[in-house]
Structure 1
Amino acid sequence: MKSFFSYTALFIVLAVSIFSCKKEDNDDVSTGTPVVKYVRITDPKAADSLVVGAFMGSLVAIVGENLQNTRELWFNDQKATLNPTYITNKTILVSVPSTVPSKVSDKMRFVFKDGSEMSYDFKVNVPAPVLSSIKCEYVPDGGIVELEGDFFFEPKVFFTDNLAAEIVALTKTSLKVKVPAGAKPGPISIQTNFGKVKSRFLFRDNRNIILNYDGKNHETWTAPITAANADPTMPGCDGSYVLFKHNANGAWQWTNELTMQYWATRGRGRVPVATGSINDLTLKFECNVPQEWKDVRMEMFFGPYADDHGRDAAGTAIARWKPWKNGPFKTNGWVTISIPLTEFKYGKDDSDSDETGTRKIENLSNLTNVVFMLFGPANGTNPVKIAVDNIRIVQN
């Protein structure tokens, strides 16, 4: 019983305290002039931080006097949602509107019960655009580039040499733009009224192209090269491409049509596939998978300068690409695939269940050959149709 009365007494004290504070804050000071003294953020860890601006969606506390008759509150030209519970004589708790302003005044505008108004300097901070990815780095003039990111508020998009692109679809986090005639390789820039960003990736990235199937080719007895206009269901993204195609592929089948071997002895000579640290390098290529790829991994590896694939060479590190791991894989047109060189970590005899691997690329300067092949365990047999273009190794 002692515990019950103690909690009851505490509740009464708190209730009286809250009521007294609320009454004091809400006393109608109708003859007083409204004043804003400062604005602070509501995070308890930074409750003493005064601000002159805040990001959209932020909860702020407006502190002043004679604020209890506020009926509307505008940030620039955007009206905030007010809750009468959070409006007192001395404070207003309100979230900054999440809609981007059309006209920027950098002011809060108060509208009071009697129709009078008051302004207070306050800036709504809208983030600069963020550009995180591109669906496909190789798109022809007149084609559609798809970009992902955030804060795409009335953006303008530019290719190299400040070449403007036409926007054909837009959301806050995605953009579709038509590639302008004469577009060149290089970064893509997005500009809004609130900042500018330049992509880390390169449109039509032409650095260190090892194979492009328009002059830089692989061994002719492996997967065939297909002309850009040969298959109307999957036209090329950048000229000809290599096509892995077979009616049925089963477990551990070394099939010529599903193997692509580049031997530098018959290509560009004793030139390493890349230079630098594997921690800073990524294998990239464009890929088109028009029908579901359900099984059998694609192995990728680099071999020494020889008339040989190099899979059996000592220390060969293999990457296992299994985009179907969480379900059948199919692309809607061409996409750019990126595989860090640190993912080349499997020996040829490592078990299929091994996710760690026992190898890594030790010395890029000794590696000149490139092999892509579908090879590994399978559940039954499955048809395969996979197009690849523009194999390159570039800086992250």
Structure 2
Amino acid sequence: MNKNIYNRIPCLLLLLLVAASMLPACKKDKMSAPVITSVRNYAAAPNDTVVQTVNAGQWVVVMGNNLSNVSRAFFDGVPASVKSTFTTDQSIVIQIPSIAFQSVPKDKMDEIMVVGDGGTATFKLSIIGAPFISYVRSASPSPNDTIAKAIFPGEKVNILGFNIKNPVKIAFQGVAADLTSIVYTDSSAIVTVPADLSGGDATLANMISYTNNVGTGTFAIAIIGPPIITGVSNENPAAGDSVYLYGNNFFAVQNLSFAGATITSWKAADDGSSVGFVVPSLSQSGPVVIKTTAGTFTTAYNVNDVTTGIVSNFEWGPLFHWDWWGGAELTSGDPSSGWPPYDAAFTGNSSMFLALKTNVMNAGAGDEFSTAIRMGGVQWLPAGNVGDNVNAWALKFEINVPASWNGGTIGIKSSNGYMARYEPWKITETSTAPYKTKGWQTVTIPLSSFRKNDATLGDGKGAPVTSISDLVGSSGTSDMILVMHNYGTSPTATAFKAAFDNFRVVKR
């Protein structure tokens, strides 16, 4: 018995020695927590400087220790992409993700966090992105610093949100504010609305635009300032026609003129969004000018003008530009005309125009040979303006739809594979309503509305055009083809009958 005990002692000692020898190795294998000491710009020297402020989307190098096993990184709590191929124990290359700053918890704001096998490390750094405006307050002392539902020219307002320090531009309806007198806090900027908002951008009506070095944020709010005209129901009416101006701030109208003719009687909508009047006899072209107690607005384009920017007016002469085939019919608005034929359905236009008519269209019906208006090789706009912003120009034409139209798409095409869709009967992707006009109406299609034809998404549903030259080439010359086509999977609900006139491309 004792002999057995003594025999076991060497074995126990051996096991203890083995266990003891393993302890230092286990302790040595345990990973240390990462440490962040600084952040550098990810660029070649001498631009790889230490940074105190970074932008969403920027690549940076996080410097420190014990970083080789870091597998995850977060900026403001948002997961980031770690470039593992460039990771060392002292550095990690990371791209800062897109961040919805308004959703970042307060304790995560301006925080970098990395997670490794040995633990986590955090580091505070100013992380900025494009401005985001949460709301606007009156700049009056409390308790009058209430959230504003409308603002006025010359008023001092407090803009609150994220990334609003150090703006390079603050604009109200496109009119820049004075940045020299701004008062900042951590999350707000007190700025004065320009006293004169005349000449604002119609596309930015009731909009604050806030721009920093990263990008621009916008905020919609009622700006009770000078009027802004965003559209005219019929830019080429006949005497006695009713015309409506659409836009904003049509309050307390003092004077109104249309193509140089003084309008003596009008009716404005209670919400200031429209003004209606009857057009007198017109003798010239000219802009629409409206004056209120808050200021004056003049359209950038002329009305009663079938010459400026004209692509085709279908009158005999150099601006006829119809290819004589495609399915449209040359029509006269003059009842005494022997030819082209007169159509009593299209009154209010005594000139010549094109009519396009179809029966109920089966799915997939309609093409450039049978249901189209073709204008080949026409000058969309002067070659000198091809470099302009694509949003600064628009295609316009007059249309007359005397009977209900529901289903089928009018696609306007250029030679370069871009198309704009016109579907006024479509309310949403799943709902429609019959559409018709009261006489002639003006259709405005910004050139920025043209989109690339896409084999998967469909014609005119691909990437939007980004330059005028992509749409019509460097010379500004391209085909302009209007096609009626049924892209639906069932027959159209109605037939189609409409007249078209005065295709033109003009400044917006």
TM-score after normalising by structure 2: 0.46
Q: Does 1:135 align with 2:233?
A: yes
Alpha-carbon contact 2:366-2:486 (below 8 Å) kept: no
The 4+ residue runs of structure 1 with deviation greater than 4 A are 271-274
**How far apart are the structure 2 equivalents of 1:250 and 1:279?**
35
1:1-396 to 2 correspondence within 5 Å?
45-47=139-141, 127-149=225-247, 150-161=249-260, 163-172=261-270, 173=272, 174-205=274-305, 206-215=307-316, 216-222=320-326, 223-229=328-334, 230-237=342-349, 239-254=351-366, 256-264=369-377, 271=379, 273-275=381-383, 276=386, 277=388, 278-303=390-415, 315-326=416-427, 327-328=432-433, 329-347=435-453, 349-352=455-458, 355-357=461-463, 361=471, 363-365=473-475, 367-378=477-488, 379-381=490-492, 382-396=494-508
Gaps of 5+ in 1: 1-42, 59-125, 304-314
Alpha-carbon contact 2:239-2:279 (below 8 Å) kept: yes
**How far apart are the structure 1 equivalents of 2:140 and 2:235?**
43
Instruction: Provide Cα deviations, 1:181-209, integer angstroms capped at 9, x if missing partner.
Output: 23421111123455332233431243211
- 2:219 is aligned to none
Deviation of 1:344 after TM superposition, in Å, equals 2.1
Structure 1 49/208 Cα, relative in aligned 2: closer, same or farther at 3 Å?
Answer: farther
Structure 1 201/366 Cα, relative in aligned 2: closer, same or farther at 3 Å?
Answer: closer
**How far apart are the structure 2 equivalents of 1:395 and 1:366?**
14
Alpha-carbon contact 1:350-1:357 (below 8 Å) kept: no
Structure 1 130/263 Cα, relative in aligned 2: closer, same or farther at 3 Å?
Answer: closer
Instruction: Provide Cα deviations, 1:41-96, integer angstroms capped at 9, x if missing partner.
Output: xx66431799xxx969x9xxxxxxxxxxxxxxxxxxxxxxxxxxxxxxxxxxxxxx
Structure 1 151/341 Cα, relative in aligned 2: closer, same or farther at 3 Å?
Answer: closer
Q: Identity percentage over the alignment? A: 23
Q: CA RMSD in A?
A: 3.5
Letter in 1 for 2:491: G
Alpha-carbon contact 2:451-2:461 (below 8 Å) kept: no
Secondary structure of the residue that 2:356 maps to in structure 1? strand
For these two proteins, the number of residue pairs brought into alignment is 268
- 1:73 is aligned to none
Deviation of 1:235 after TM superposition, in Å, equals 1.2
Structure 1 144/274 Cα, relative in aligned 2: closer, same or farther at 3 Å?
Answer: same
Deviation of 1:238 after TM superposition, in Å, equals 6.1
**How far apart are the structure 1 equivalents of 2:453 and 2:461?**
12
Secondary structure of the residue that 2:303 maps to in structure 1? coil
Alpha-carbon contact 1:273-1:369 (below 8 Å) kept: no
Structure 1 358/197 Cα, relative in aligned 2: closer, same or farther at 3 Å?
Answer: closer
TM-score after normalising by structure 1: 0.58
Deviation of 1:147 after TM superposition, in Å, equals 1.5
- 1:26 is aligned to none
Secondary structure of the residue that 1:295 maps to in structure 2? coil
Deviation of 1:221 after TM superposition, in Å, equals 2.7
Structure 1 288/44 Cα, relative in aligned 2: closer, same or farther at 3 Å?
Answer: closer
Higher relative contact order (CA 8 A, sep 6+): 1
**How far apart are the structure 1 equivalents of 2:476 and 2:297?**
38
Deviation of 1:148 after TM superposition, in Å, equals 2.5
**How far apart are the structure 1 equivalents of 2:464 and 2:252?**
47
Structure 1 49/241 Cα, relative in aligned 2: closer, same or farther at 3 Å?
Answer: farther
Alpha-carbon contact 1:273-1:367 (below 8 Å) kept: yes
Deviation of 1:350 after TM superposition, in Å, equals 4.5
Letter in 2 for 1:200: A
**How far apart are the structure 2 equivalents of 1:342 and 1:299?**
15
Secondary structure of the residue that 2:230 maps to in structure 1? strand
Deviation of 1:231 after TM superposition, in Å, equals 2.8
Alpha-carbon contact 1:245-1:257 (below 8 Å) kept: no
Structure 1 301/245 Cα, relative in aligned 2: closer, same or farther at 3 Å?
Answer: same
**How far apart are the structure 2 equivalents of 1:154 and 1:221?**
48
Alpha-carbon contact 2:263-2:277 (below 8 Å) kept: yes
- 2:221 is aligned to none
